[in-house]
Amino acid sequence: MPVSLTNIIDNEHPGYVSGRYYLGTEKVSADTSSTGGLSTSGITYVPFRVHSPIQLSRLAVYCSSSSSNGNAIIGIYSNLNGLPEDLVIDGGNLIITTPGVKEAITSYSAKRAWYWFAGITSQAPSLYCGLSFVGNNHILGQAAPSSITVNCALRNAGAYASLPAKAPKDNLSFITGNFHPLFWFKVA
């Protein structure tokens, strides 16, 4: 019996369980603490996919250490042709002055699609970030073929402010190295 591509696509994820948190980034084998995950000088964008329709109830990041006077704004943008487009979740302002999980409560019906986690901060916190993974170049692309340069996310230069309704893309650049902020979403 021939295998249908539709069946393969439907089996990319075993399914989501209500009440569980899911790491937004696939294939992360190790993490590190870094102040480079979110920036004071621009919005960080990290692509992720939702494999089947779900109701999202929370977005979370994990601060590994204390910082003074720190705030972060996080949210989710839709995807259009491999880039962030419309703000679909505004997670608002999170106080990031102490270690631990920092969550934004939300309610969003996510369809099976690609999305972009987004964040910006008033003071760069130490967040858990994924170590470089060359497979990210498959999702983000590269300016030229290289197995040494590992693109882990995108960043659009700009000042600390609320996330706009349309994703700013006028000053996009690749973020390389171990600055891929880990984030989680919770299924209602």
| Domains of the chain and any CATH numbers | 19-187 (2.60.120)
> What is the rounded average pLDDT of the residues 110-135?
85
d(CA 50, CA 115): 8
| pLDDT of residue 7 exceeding 90 | no
| pLDDT of residue 76 exceeding 70 | yes
| pLDDT value for 13 | 86
| pLDDT value for 34 | 75
d(CA 183, CA 137): 19
| pLDDT value for 155 | 94
| pLDDT of residue 10 exceeding 70 | no
Query: Angle at CA 34, nearest 5°, toward 32 and 40?
Result: 155
Q: What percent of the chain has pLDDT over 90?
A: 51
The encoded tokens of residue 42 equal 């621009």
Q: Which residue has the higher pLDDT, 135 or 50?
A: 50
> What is the rounded average pLDDT of the residues 105-134?
88
| pLDDT value for 128 | 72
Expressed in angstroms, the distance from the first to the final Cα of the chain is 38
| pLDDT value for 5 | 53
| Helix (H), strand (E), coil (C) string for 114-128 | EEEEEEEECCCCCEE
pLDDT class for 9, splitting at 50, 70, 90? low
CA 170 to chain centre: 19
The encoded tokens of residue 49 equal 């996919």
pLDDT digits (tens, 9 = 90+) for 148-167: 888 889 999 988 889 999 99
| pLDDT value for 62 | 87
d(CA 41, CA 152): 17
